[in-house]
Structure 1
């Protein structure tokens, strides 16, 4: 479990280093959040199972989003409020 969390953190740090060369950081962070949400949804059977690593990665990435994008997340960590569509 701890090894997986370290791997996910490392992968995200590498992703962020790639983003340094790009101009629109908010758009790029949103793409990372969406990719992680898709990965969680692909594992769903019939409801996604959130582990600690998923919650940590998503929480760290979502905090980097502007507030208006944070409210429109399709997937939110358990206990997080979602805006109604």
Structure 2
């Protein structure tokens, strides 16, 4: 014979433990997202001519001109493209 009271309390205990674990994971990931967002914000504000950058699509280039939200980047010799400054993922 199954003791349903024990089964129910075990399920409740497991649900509470899983809920606590989920809250901890949400807290940690939200901190990491905020950190990464602030790093990218600083990166986008500090763009200057001559910096070597990488776009989100893994294209590398060198900044030739910064005007507002548009950045002109030389991706190959005499090949200059205009992109949004927010498309830049990292600076080398």
- Return the structure number with greater relative CO, CA threshold 8 A, min gap 6: 1
- Decide which structure has the larger Cα Rg and report it: 2
Same fold, TM-score > 0.5, yes or no? no
Task: Identify the structure with the greater helix proportion.
Answer: 1
TM-score relative to the length of structure 2: 0.27
TM-score relative to the length of structure 1: 0.29
